[in-house]
Amino acid sequence: MAHNRVIQWGAMARTWWLYDAKFQCPYRSAEKLCMYLEGRHKPLYHPLSDVGDHVVVINTRYVAMAEDLWRKQQYKHDTRYAGGKSSATAWRLHEADYTKILYKAVYSAAPKNLLRPTIMRRLHLYPEEDVPDDIIGNVSDVIRQIQVVPKPLDSYSAQEIEEFPKLFDWPEDHVIYKRKATTEKKEES
Amino acid sequence: MLNVNMGSNVIPSTFLRNVMKNGIGRHVCQLQRVTLSLCKWSPGSAPAREFVEQDMVDFTRQNPGIVFYLKPRRHRSPVLKAEYLNGYTEEIDLTKLSREEINHWLGLLKGRSGQQIVRLRKDFHTDTPSIQGVWNPFLFKDTELSIKDVRDPSLSEYISPFKSATEKLLELKKKSGAS
Amino acid sequence: MVFLTFVRNASRYTFRGVQRKYVETSEPSRLMKRHQMKRVGAKYYGRLRNCWIIGVNIMNKALRYSTRDTACKSEKLDKLYSTRLEAACLEHGMDQKYFLTSLAEFDINLNRESLANLAIYEPRTFQTLVEFVKKRSLEIGLQSKTLGAPMGLEPRGILEEIKKASNSSSS
């Protein structure tokens, strides 16, 4: 049937997804991204057929880690030569390359088979919001974030802060600790 | 026809299908020619001779589209050779077969489509598996997406099933202000 | 290895004389054994097909593999249908577990396989099934109205909603 190939073009079409990694946990979002990269969000999924989609991730520079993981998480590397073992903490790796943390998270969450390299090639990581036009032009849908992006105090207007309901007043003799600005410190020393 | 995409290392197999849609309008008998070669004397061909005497004429009367040849062959076992419209031929050795069995084989050959018998992958098959159309990634997509910018935060924001403490406070304030 | 023993035992019976009687002999026929290997390994390449000891080892290994894999075939397929159904449910903002249990409650007896096939080949039918479950559970009062989000949303915690409702009613 001549019509069958057209049906196949429709069913096997690859869509492009956008994901905003701002203040998102890289490990939990890697699990979600893998679902789209492998094609597990499609009812016609099969582990042997390559039905995964493209995912464009922006703001990888601003990923958030729980607790003390920036300092404690170790990324190990081995050149397989004598003395070739090395390890770097998460914050060091992140400083070297802002996309590396999320790349490694997705790499380890992806299936450990021969499809992994092709899956990784469909993951497009960008440290900031700007993405080349030929890539953002393909994007047709958005993956929802996995956690709430916290709103900083600076973004509230003075009126909003004033209007916010006060539950109690501090006593007059209460001392609120305020961190000194770094510039002042330098002047002192 | 066998499946073309099969490798050389595999035992041939097909899907179940109706060849040339035969029988959907009218049925065309695919069997065109039958040749029965038998010995006139040997006891091995006795049932075949019996078949010729008693059943052959009836068969040819009932099936005028099938040409029936008789071929004498001395001191050999009887053989039934069937030729089909698509050029396929099938030979059946009739040694030690009774007259009834020969009739059965002939009936089987008459009903066949002229396709080689190979393993079936499944007992069921359809050329149109879907009536509503096969699923595709655009089928249930929200049409709003075509108007909206993909960078719109409302699309990517996480929607919590629970209310935050801030929201609860603001709600309480609203309630108390209203009352 | 059920069928392998059957294949091996088959060679121990030889046909003798005109009477159709199978007699058990002490030793299996050498030629018959080789013939069996050739039947199974007819499609092997090179020495695997021509040499006895290599061919029979490969044949035995192949039969062992097929026994092992037929055992876990259904399990693998179940997993696949479950993944497919989860994807199909996610598209309509529905939870797979809730969907299956409520279908069973409303006496729609479809298993994962047929539901997954419906989701691929008759997607509108699957959609109506999901909508039926949503509406029916709304009538009963189990489900929140926020369900039925577009694709890309996680299925809402229906159980949490149920818990909330039950807590509010009890208190």
Phi, psi of C109 (to 5 degrees): -95, 80
Q: ipTM value, please give it.
A: 0.81
- Predicted pLDDT of residue B4: 47
Above pLDDT 70, what percent of chain B? Answer: 93
In the DSSP assignment, the letter for residue C31 is: H
User: How close B167 comes to chain A (CA, Å)?
Assistant: 11
Is B131 close to C123, i.e. CB distance below 8 A? no
State the average pLDDT over residues B105-130: 90
Chain B positions touching C157 (Cβ under 8 A) are 161
Cβ distance C84 to C122 under 8 Å? Answer: no
CATH 3.40.30.10 residue spans of chain B? 22-116
- Predicted pLDDT of residue B67: 97
Cβ distance C37 to C55 under 8 Å? Answer: yes
Q: Which of residues 111-140 of B touch C (CB under 8 A)?
A: 129-135, 139-140
Q: For domain B22-116, give the fold.
A: Glutaredoxin (3.40.30)
Q: Is some CB atom of chain B closer than 8 A to the CB atom of C156?
A: yes
Domain C78-147 in this protein, CATH class: mainly alpha
**Residue-wise DSSP of A37-75:** HHTTTSTT--TTS----EEEEE-GGG---STTHHHH-EE
pLDDT tens, position by position, A130-188 = 999 999 999 999 999 999 999 888 888 999 888 888 888 888 888 877 777 666 555 55
CA pair distance C151, A170, nearest whole angstrom: 47
CA pair distance C162, C171, nearest whole angstrom: 14
- Predicted pLDDT of residue B93: 94
CA pair distance C96, C87, nearest whole angstrom: 9
- Predicted pLDDT of residue B9: 59
- Predicted pLDDT of residue B124: 87
pLDDT tens, position by position, A30-82 = 999 999 999 999 999 999 999 999 999 999 999 999 989 999 999 999 999 99
Residues of chain C with pLDDT under 70: 1-28, 141-171
Q: A69 is in which domain, residue-wise?
A: 2-188
CA pair distance C129, C123, nearest whole angstrom: 10
- Predicted pLDDT of residue C20: 46
- Predicted pLDDT of residue B12: 80
State the average pLDDT over residues B115-123: 87
CA distances from A172 to A147, A167, A179, A180 (A): 38, 16, 20, 21
Strand order in the sheet with A123-125: A123-125, A54-58, A16-20, A139-142
User: How close A143 comes to chain B (CA, Å)?
Assistant: 6
Among candidates C41, C34, C36, C39, which has minimal Cα distance to C59? C41
Q: Is the dihedral of CA A120, A123, A128, A131 positive or negative?
A: positive
Chain B positions touching C156 (Cβ under 8 A) are 161
CATH of the domain at A20: 3.90.1180.10
Q: Where do the structural domains in chain C lie, given as residue ranges?
A: 1-31, 78-147
- Predicted pLDDT of residue C93: 86
Chain B: residue whose CA lies nearest to A143: B156
- Predicted pLDDT of residue A73: 95
Least confident of A143-157, B27-41, B68-82: A143-157
